[in-house]
Amino acid sequence: MTGTTNGHSRQPETGAVFDAVIVGAGFAGLYMLHRLRGLGFTARVYEAGGGVGGTWYWNRYPGARCDVESMQYSFSFSEELDQQWNWSEKYAPQPEILSYANHVADRFDLRQHIQFDTRVTSATFDETAKCWQIETGRGNKVSAKFCIMAVGCLSAANHVPFRGREDFRGPLYHTGEWPHQGVDFTGLRVGVIGTGSSAIQSIPIIAQQASHLTVFQRTATYSVPAWNAKLTPEYRDAIKADYPALRAKARARPTGFYFPFNMKPALEASPEEREQQYEEAWERGGLPFLGAYGDLLFEKAANDTIADFARNKIRAIVRDPATAELLCPDNVFGCKRLCVDTGYFETYNLAHVKLVDVSKTPIERFTADGVEVNGSEYKLDAIVCATGFAAMTGSFDRIKITGRNGQTLAEKWRAGPRAYLGVATTGFPNLFTITGPGSPSVLASMIQAIEQHVDWMADCIAHVRDIGAATIEPVQASEDKWVEHVNEVSKVSLRSTCSSWYVGANIPGRPRVFMPYIGGFPVYVQKCNEVMSNGFEGFVIEGAAASNEAPRVRLTERWRVPLDIDVISPAAIAARRVPVV
The residues facing 125 across adjacent strands are 132
* pLDDT tens track for 79-131: 999 999 999 999 999 999 999 999 999 999 999 999 999 999 999 999 999 99
Q: What is the pLDDT of residue 2?
A: 31
How far apart are the C-alpha atoms of 519 and 255, rounded to whole Å?
Answer: 10
Q: What is the pLDDT of residue 518?
A: 82
Separation in Å, CA 284 to CA 188, 270, 280, 581: 36, 21, 6, 36
| Cβ pair 108, 82 in contact under 8 A | no
Q: Note every long-range contact of 351-354, with CB atoms under 8 Å and residues 24 or more positions apart, other chains counting.
A: 352/207, 352/210, 352/211, 352/212, 352/213, 353/207, 353/212, 353/213, 353/214, 353/215, 354/212, 354/213, 354/214, 354/215
| Average pLDDT of the residues in 277-281 | 97
Of the CA atoms within 13 Å of residue 299, those in its CB half-sphere come to 14
| Cβ pair 451, 434 in contact under 8 A | no
Sequence-separated (6 or more) residues with CB below 8 Å from residue 109: none
The residues facing 132 across adjacent strands are 125, 144
Q: Answer yes or no: is pLDDT of 507 > 70.
A: no
Which has the higher per-residue pLDDT, 489 or 460?
Answer: 460
| Cβ pair 558, 551 in contact under 8 A | no
- CA torsion, ordered 156, 161, 164, 168, to nearest 10 deg: -20
Task: Provide the pLDDT confidence category of residue 6 given band limits of 50, 70 and 90.
Answer: low
Of the CA atoms within 13 Å of residue 225, those in its CB half-sphere come to 16
Q: Answer yes or no: is pLDDT of 504 > 70.
A: no
| Cβ pair 359, 168 in contact under 8 A | no
> What is the separation of C-alpha 511 from the centre of its chain, rounded to a whole number of angstroms?
19
Sequence-separated (6 or more) residues with CB below 8 Å from residue 376: none
* Mean pLDDT of all residues belonging to the chain: 89
In terms of Cβ atoms closer than 10 Å to its own Cβ (0-12, 13-18, 19+), residue 466 is: middle
Q: For the ranges 177-191, 234-248, 413-427, 500-514, which has the lowest average pLDDT?
A: 500-514
In the three-class reduction of DSSP (H, G, I as helix; E, B as strand; rest coil), residue 276 is classed as helix
Of the CA atoms within 13 Å of residue 255, those in its CB half-sphere come to 16
Query: Residue 191 phi/psi, 5° resolution?
Result: -115, 135
* pLDDT tens track for 137-165: 999 999 999 999 999 755 556 677 889 98
Q: What is the pLDDT of residue 242?
A: 95
Task: Provide the pLDDT confidence category of residue 516 given band limits of 50, 70 and 90.
Answer: confident
* pLDDT tens track for 195-222: 999 999 999 999 999 999 999 999 999 9
Query: Residue 474 phi/psi, 5° resolution?
Result: -70, 150
For the entire predicted model, the pTM comes to 0.92
| Cβ pair 257, 71 in contact under 8 A | no
Task: Provide the pLDDT confidence category of residue 499 given band limits of 50, 70 and 90.
Answer: low
How far apart are the C-alpha atoms of 571 and 268, rounded to whole Å?
Answer: 20
Q: Answer yes or no: is pLDDT of 372 > 50.
A: yes
In terms of average pLDDT, the best of 79-93, 284-298, 380-394, 477-491 is 79-93
Q: Answer yes or no: is pLDDT of 419 > 90.
A: yes
Q: Answer yes or no: is pLDDT of 4 > 90.
A: no
